Structures are given as C-alpha cells and as structure tokens.
Amino acid sequence: MKNKKVLIMCTGNSCRSIIGEALVNSLDNIEAFSCGVAPSGKVNPHAKKVLEMHGMWDDKYYSKHLDEVINIDFDLVVTVCSHANETCPVFPKSAKVIHVGFEDPDGKEFEAFIDTYKEIEEILLSEVKKGLI
C-alpha cells in the first residue's frame, strides 16, 4: 500500500511532470500524480515514447488541470518549472512545496526527452525522498 502522495506540477502537464509522475510512481510507498496550471490537454508523444522505452508508460497518465487534483491530501508538491512555482496555489491540506526546475524539452528532438528523463531520474527522485522526510 502506498502511503505518501506526491504531486508533480508544471505549466502544460505534457512532458516533465508526466515523466516525473511515472518515475516517482516507481518508488516504494509513494503514489504520484501530475497536473498543469495551464494544461496542454495532451501528453507529448516524445514523453510517452521515452516512458515506453523504460517500461514506465501507463494509460492513466494524461494532461490534467490542477483543479482535478487540488483536493487530494498531498504530502509533497513539487513544481518542475518556474511558472508553476510562481503560481503554485495553497492546497486545502497544508502540503510541503519544493521547486526542482527542469528545462522544457517540448518542441525539441527526441534526444532532448531522453536527456530530460535522465535528469529527472537523477535529480527529482532524491529530492522527493528528501522532501518526504
């Protein structure tokens, strides 16, 4: 049973936050969600492809607005872009909020998504673990 809930939030919820959600879901005892403050409404095909390459894609991942998850009692909220960090709302349950920014690979070649995946894996997972202590 997963007992900690983590939200990964960015602007469009099409690349970085979706990759972050999948990676954080691979951790023990943590359930991850993602959202956007201005969601694009779609998962970037390159983000989906890089997750499929790593066996981490799940059809439950989709681009959604913050309103869909605002009432979940998160233990940790992580913003992964400056816009989301600057506009991060106050959640009904007081959640710890941290910012771990990553460059947006949207509009770039597939290799940029591979690099983003590796960067999120190397940096975000340890920051999430520290943030939940």
- Structure token pair of residue 128: 């999430």
Q: Any catalytic annotation for residue 81?
A: yes
Instruction: Catalytic residue, from 30, 88, 120, 128: name it.
Output: 88
C-alpha 32/C-alpha 14 separation (Å) is 15
Among 32-36, 46-50, 59-63, 89-93, which is the least confidently predicted range? 89-93
**Sequence spans of domains, the chain:** 4-121
pLDDT tens, position by position, 50-89: 999 999 999 999 999 999 998 899 999 999 887 776 776 6
Instruction: Catalytic residue, from 66, 81, 97, 128: name it.
Output: 81
Instruction: Catalytic residue, from 10, 15, 32, 77: name it.
Output: 10
Position 92 scores a pLDDT of 65
Q: Tell me: pLDDT of 12 over 70.
A: yes
Position 16 scores a pLDDT of 95
Tell me the pLDDT band of 44, cut-offs 50, 70 and 90. Answer: very high
Domain 4-121 carries which CATH code? 3.40.50.2300
Position 83 scores a pLDDT of 75
Backbone angles phi, psi at 79, to 5 degrees: -90, 135
For 62, the 3-state DSSP assignment is: coil
- 9 within 8 A of 65, measured Cβ to Cβ: no
